[in-house]
């Protein structure tokens, strides 16, 4: 056995634990989910094979359509809002002394339980005695909206919470990307007389495109899986205005005990997320620039 073969076997040896974990905790449950999505099962009795009946039921289910619309609406607010705000904070902190302290402060919500953050915002956004409405009245003399009661404000309220909670993680990633940009590009631009705006538009943004691409994919995946915020703040209400895909999956499984339909909805969510990811991967060839 030559040295290359020995090195290959050592490589297989070291990745073996990861492969076992991938097999038992990802691939096998994924196959099991696809199988269960074609069954009628209440969690106790025998499983009855019904083919694509659960999927047909979901496409005809008004609650599934509402959940999908709400989730897409939420994603359209959180993804661009989260990327834009994180980029602004990262650019502001890039040249600031003591940026380590600021990174710690901004990143703190990212390591805090989403449930705990949602409970705090439940008090902040209370329409009767919440701090936000109190300050709006005292400082500006206006009556604050009914954040979690009015159907027009409930999803934007959850989006604001999610953007704030994810700001630290996205900011740290952007900050790492900014620090990886060589100063020679900016020095050359200054010699040519480029303004700060031109340097940001033609140097920073293109060289940050791989970082932006990564954050966009992670943000879309996370946004389609939103659940904790809706569950704690509004329980999917009012009038299902904050009823999301994962909340729909939860209700089908643990309220209605229709695990087949719940798994079918989960599979559809998986396909939707996979589709958006593949579209992003394809579109990234036109705007993501790797290398120098």
238 in a domain, yes or no? yes
pLDDT tens track for 222-271:
999 999 999 999 999 999 999 999 999 999 999 999 999 999 999 999 99
Structural contact between residues 226 and 162, judged by C-beta atoms closer than 8 angstroms = yes
Structural contact between residues 226 and 20, judged by C-beta atoms closer than 8 angstroms = no
195 in a domain, yes or no? yes
CA distance 71 to 242: 8
> What is the pLDDT, as a whole number, of residue 291?
60
CA distance 229 to 237: 12
Mapped onto helix, strand or coil, the DSSP state of residue 49 is: strand
The answer on pLDDT for 95 being more than 90 is no
> What is the pLDDT, as a whole number, of residue 212?
95
> What is the pLDDT, as a whole number, of residue 112?
86
70 in a domain, yes or no? yes
The answer on pLDDT for 2 being more than 80 is no
260 in a domain, yes or no? yes
Name the residue range of residue 257's domain: 62-287
Q: State how far the alpha carbon of 254 is from the alpha carbons of 2, 196, 250, in Å.
A: 57, 54, 6
- Residue 103: pLDDT band by 50, 70, 90 thresholds? confident
> What is the pLDDT, as a whole number, of residue 1?
59
The answer on pLDDT for 273 being more than 70 is yes
Provide, rounded to the nearest whole percent, the portion of the chain with pLDDT above 90.
65
Report the range of poorest mean pLDDT among 38-47, 148-157, 210-219: 38-47
118 in a domain, yes or no? yes
Cβ atoms within 10 Å of 64's Cβ, excluding its own: 21
| Domain count for the chain | 1
CA distance 163 to 98: 24
Token pair of 182 as six digits: 């060589």
13 in a domain, yes or no? no
pTM of the shown model = 0.91
Sole residue written with tokens 């027009």: 152
Write the CATH number for 114.
1.10.3720.10
57 in a domain, yes or no? no
Phi, psi of 221 (to 5 degrees): -60, -45
């Amino acid at each position: 056995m030559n040295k290359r073969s020995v090195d290959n076997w050592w490589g297989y040896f070291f990745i073996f634990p990861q492969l076992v974990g991938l097999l038992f905790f990802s691939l096998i449950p994924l196959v099991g989910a696809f199988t269960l999505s074609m069954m009628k099962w209440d969690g106790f009795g025998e499983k009855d094979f019904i083919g694509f009946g659960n999927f047909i039921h979901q496409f005809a289910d008004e609650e599934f359509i509402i959940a999908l619309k709400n989730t897409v609406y939420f994603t359209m607010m959180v993804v661009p809002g989260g990327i834009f705000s994180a980029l602004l904070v990262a650019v502001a902190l890039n040249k600031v002394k003591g940026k380590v302290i600021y990174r710690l402060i901004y990143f703190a919500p990212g390591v805090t339980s989403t449930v705990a953050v949602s409970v705090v915002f439940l008090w902040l956004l209370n329409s009767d005695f919440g701090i936000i409405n109190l300050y709006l009245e005292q400082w500006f003399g206006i009556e604050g909206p009914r954040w979690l009661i009015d159907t027009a404000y409930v999803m934007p309220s959850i989006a604001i919470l999610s953007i704030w909670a994810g700001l630290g993680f996205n900011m740290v990633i952007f900050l790492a990307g900014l620090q990886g940009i060589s100063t020679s590009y900016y020095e050359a631009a200054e010699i040519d007389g480029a303004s700060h705006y031109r340097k940001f538009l033609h140097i920073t943004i293109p060289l940050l495109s791989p970082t932006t691409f990564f954050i966009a994919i992670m943000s879309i995946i996370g946004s389609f899986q939103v659940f904790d915020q809706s569950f704690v703040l509004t329980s999917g209400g009012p009038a299902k205005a904050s009823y999301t895909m994962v909340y729909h999956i939860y209700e089908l499984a643990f309220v209605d005990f229709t695990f087949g339909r719940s798994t079918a909805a989960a599979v559809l969510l998986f396909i939707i997320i996979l589709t958006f990811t593949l579209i992003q991967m394809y579109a990234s060839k036109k705007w993501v620039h790797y290398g120098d």
